[in-house]
Structure 1
Amino acid sequence: MRKLALALTLLAGPAFATGLQIEVAGEANGTITIDLLEDVAPGHVEQITALAGEGAYDNVVFHRVIDGFMAQTGDVQFGDMTDEAFSMERAGLGGSERDDLAAEFSSESFDRGVVGMARSQSPNSGNSQFFIMFAPAPHLNGQYTVVGRVTEGMEVVDAIKRGAGRNGAVLGEPDRMVSVTVTD
């Protein structure tokens, strides 16, 4: 039924909100504003805005942050710092209860400030996690779905606590998205 609803939404054309406002706390403190690209990745934008509207991203940590590359967040299953079962060792291993998404590759480039959808090795495994680029990464072009661009608050992105563990894992107290709001 969910797939039918998504298909009908896609056929009707984008009718989503156009952005996100993310309040960040930790080493980085401030607001990140993202313009979502409904015309480029309508299914992914619908999923992200639905999760944000439900409050699923609130208090979710930046669990993987690689200096000079990107900051990853959005694990709504294991990444909520306020959940009593929270553990940084598990953050980044989960997704949401929603179905995984088919890739929506485009000609958009992974430049500084671009927001992409994280996934496993399968191109069709994006779910809730996303990442924000610190610097261009052309090797990601056509390999990951671009969902948006930071329009304000890149200085907040730049201040996010860097990972010092294996593959950019954040050690100690991570930065988090205190709240994620859908904007028009």
Structure 2
Amino acid sequence: MMGLIGLTVISTCSGCKSETNGNTKVQVEMESGEKFVIELYPEYAPKTVENFINLVKEGFYDGITFHRIVDGFMAQGGDPNGTGSGGSPKTVKGEFSSNGYEKNTLSHTKGVISMARSNDPDSASSQFFIVFDDASFLDGNYAAFGKVIEGMEVVESFQKVKRVKGSDGAISKPVEPVVMKKVTIVE
């Protein structure tokens, strides 16, 4: 089972930069039609950003759910199994200080997106989470790599869905799937 922990992939992604400020932006369209935009920060976690961009370009996230939603904490998605136990075939080295990577100083503040992982610091693949509020206690232990810059109210609305007890022991598993219909690079 993948918990909150980070993954990283270092490399460059040509053709992935936004013309406005140089950072790639990703739009997530939910099944409901609502949308939000994430700005990616390769200066903090370049391999993680590259991995995420590659998955977006492959259409990996299309139709995948946010399978874990914890009030006041975060929404986690990106597992093709929808259970928290799956991921993409590729993993990335964890880009965070407790894993020997000092460049990632991005704090887990409201709207920050970060990689989920197992206890293995280099196990992140496709699962990510978005924090609802300050979660700075995660800093240095997870690869934060971007932030919701438009539509945070859409992400916050996930907390309104009915949930039951999940495998984490919390009331976190949505009764009705919270589905990412289409995830695309915004250029």
Q: Is the TM value for this pair above 0.5?
A: yes
In 1: Cα distance, 2:163 partner to 2:74 partner: 10
Give 1:155 shift: 0.5
1:1-184 → structure 2 map (5 Å cutoff):
10=11, 15=14, 16-17=16-17, 18-26=24-32, 29-76=33-80, 78-79=81-82, 91-98=83-90, 100-105=91-96, 106-160=104-158, 161=161, 163-166=163-166, 167=168, 168-184=171-187
Give 1:172 shift: 2.0
Give 1:162 shift: 5.8
In 2: Cα distance, 1:42 partner to 1:113 partner: 19
Between Structure 1 and Structure 2, which shows a larger proportion of helix residues? 1
In 1: Cα distance, 2:109 partner to 2:174 partner: 27
Q: 1:156 is matched by which residue type in structure 2? A: V
Cα displacement string for residues 18-40 of structure 1 (whole angstroms, at most 9, x for unaligned residues): 021000135xx511100001111
- 3-state SS of 1:115 partner: strand
Q: Normalization by structure 1: what TM-score?
A: 0.81
Q: 1:138 is matched by which residue type in structure 2? A: S
In 1: Cα distance, 2:84 partner to 2:143 partner: 18
Give 1:165 shift: 1.2
RMSD of equivalent CA atoms: 1.7
**8 Å contact 1:102–1:123 — kept in the other structure?**
yes
Aligned pair in 2 of structure 1 residues 162, 46: CA closer, same or farther (>3 Å)?
A: farther
**8 Å contact 1:65–1:162 — kept in the other structure?**
no
- Counterpart for residue 3 of structure 1: none
Q: 1:40 is matched by which residue type in structure 2? A: Y
**8 Å contact 1:66–1:163 — kept in the other structure?**
no
In 2: Cα distance, 1:42 partner to 1:162 partner: 36
In 1: Cα distance, 2:49 partner to 2:70 partner: 24
**8 Å contact 1:95–1:127 — kept in the other structure?**
yes
Gaps of 5+ in 2: 1-8, 18-23, 97-103
Give 1:92 shift: 1.4
Gaps of 5+ in 1: 1-5, 80-90
Give 1:127 shift: 0.5
**8 Å contact 2:114–2:128 — kept in the other structure?**
yes
Give 1:118 shift: 0.4
In 2: Cα distance, 1:50 partner to 1:170 partner: 27
Q: 2:151 is matched by which residue type in structure 1? A: G
Identity of aligned residues (%): 40
Q: Normalization by structure 2: what TM-score?
A: 0.79
